[in-house]
Amino acid sequence: MAYLKQQRPEKVTVPSVRSSKERGERLVCLTAYDYPTARIVDEAGTDIILVGDSVGNVVLGLETTVPVTLDAMIHHTRAVRRGVTRALLVADMPYGSYHTGEDDAVRAALRLIKEAGAEAVKLEGGSSRAAIVRRLVDEEIPVMGHIGLTPQSFHKFGGNKLQGKTEEAAHRILDDAHAIEDAGAFAIVLEVVPRELAALITKRVGIPTIGIGAGADCDAQILVIHDLLGIAFTPTRPRFVKQYADLRRAMTEAIQTFADEVRSGAYPTEAESYPLPVDTKLDFGSPENSLLADAIPDSET
């Protein structure tokens, strides 16, 4: 693989992510859900690749992440694993996989590590999930936390809304960050919180913060790859999304051009076809071969 723009060419690991905050190194994080996308994202120098349960929204056409199953996460993580060499590969623990107790959480996380090839798992929630984070870490499973807007709480929040808008809510999210850090997480995703709160959390905790809709002061930034490339079909574009390409238009134009050429007979040409080998001898004299003989141009007989 030809790596392009990474700051450091060596393999990204959990310890190197943790120490990136001390080095003042800003990490690049993106999602991927399949092999070809994973290869491109990895070869472009991305530091952390997340197989997010956002696969439900952008790949499976679901309204929320809630229906995504553990088996689905394993399936997509396996595909991404085959395309990743350098980046740290993190897999989301889907809704329901850690809500019924620590033992169930360990079993689910072990499947993502052993069967799917993830190098760490991510789970949503703050202080209420600290015991689960601690148990996973005790079982030698690296954990990335996720606080603020937690999409698996879609029904609780009544939608994907800005979190931490009041002083009380901001203090609660700050407490969540400390609880997740104290439980042993190696990084924390801060999603859709005021930039001032994200800056404060980033200053107060000793592990990297990964922002998505959390301002520029986080230690790293993450986007959903479909949002970045312009191929997401969500009803509205979140404020934090910056679209860096319009692949939807490029793909549409390519498909329409192909369709036009097929309908006009311009595709395929001889360049996209296979001629009969020159040393092949066929008997066109028999009746059963007459149609084949008629199909071969005189120049090739």
Q: Is 191 a catalytic residue?
A: yes
Place of tokens 């969500």: 234
Please pick, among 140, 181, 191, 196, the residue that the annotation labels catalytic: 191
Terminal C-alpha separation, the chain: 46
- Report the distance separating Cα 149 and Cα 169, nearest Å: 12
Which residue type sits at 120?
A
Give me the active site residues, please: 191
